[in-house]
Structure 1
């Protein structure tokens, strides 16, 4: 019978160190760290990094998202659990198969999770951050997805124009002046390009909506997350692009998702 690598003393020490660092869920985080580490020395180093403020997902190298273990490399945006609601709405709209584009894909969590929900998917993703692109390529490999490096639609193959059924756009929507108010885990350890949405938080979104009709198939859907205070302006951007917009919310997750549907026609 094998002897457990980690004793009760190891667990207690990890919990104490995390609690002293202000980790609210110290016990749960210690369990994840010890379940990931291969040796006591590695566990101690991971606890030290977490106590120093590194996001837990960067410490263990993965995040749970809609039941998947998604790789999250240092510096890459950590997928938020509230964004699972966006993926659920996309899955409901997609049916059992779809052509999907995941813009501002970060780790590729949204595309990977949607692929796991569908019978058949043609998946493409893009991000401007090279670290995110490398991470996303690993996460969507099993779905046969392709990841491109570049600014929004720029790196996508032209053959996708007019074919996209589901356009996921997890754009940054934090106003520039409010980035400094974010928790240090995000502000210090995630790429600013994944957080900063410009003066009112909607600069990137406006660029996405403006070009969306060129890529969406008739009846295709653009989905993005925003804050409650930005809904009116976000809907206005959707409607300026001749998309039919509506808002869905999940109060339990504090998630607000805007859906823009392309009715078709020339543009």
Structure 2
């Protein structure tokens, strides 16, 4: 007697199981974050330290045509989001090197959920830390001049930027052969906002740095967020959207390909 093969799941069924598996793995990643209290604390303390240092230590010496705290807070928010999102590379690399991914692949689980679970957990965690930094900024004098629709757009800008960095992190975490190697990506993410419009206008930089600061992808994201929070023009929004969507269009399929290649039996 032969057993008939099980029918292939419908597209709707596959989508359901992808969402269900992603939710399980997202909850797992969030629980791991809570247990790694030092890393969780650092992801909040570092941006808060940057905020207080730039406002109270450097702010009096920097003249940007407006209150420095209003100028720098959008840059701090993007720096905080990028730093925390880059930690996804370390978490994903740890799963790959510890054998956790191999155990998950032995289960009837969508392989895509292994990637989206890490990304979703990072997005939720980073949005929370971003809100904490924003609340602190308001408490020490940041004065956003915006409306509810602009607030939603600002949060959407931050979320899209976090997703872009998360998927870059997944790609780096897949390539890296150790968690230590994956952590090197953090320095790259931390460096970019310093050579952008995050802390000072690019036109105050040396001529050799100015073109890079004006045209790298972090600058239009920061300028868009600054415009949404301060009620100034958001002419850079199309460039910011194009950069983030372009990064996602490249890194999502690239991460899936690298993951399949890394875990190929």
Larger RCO of the pair (alpha carbons < 8 Å, separation 6+): 2
Length-normalised TM-score, structure 1: 0.24
The structure whose residues are more often helix, as a share, is: 2
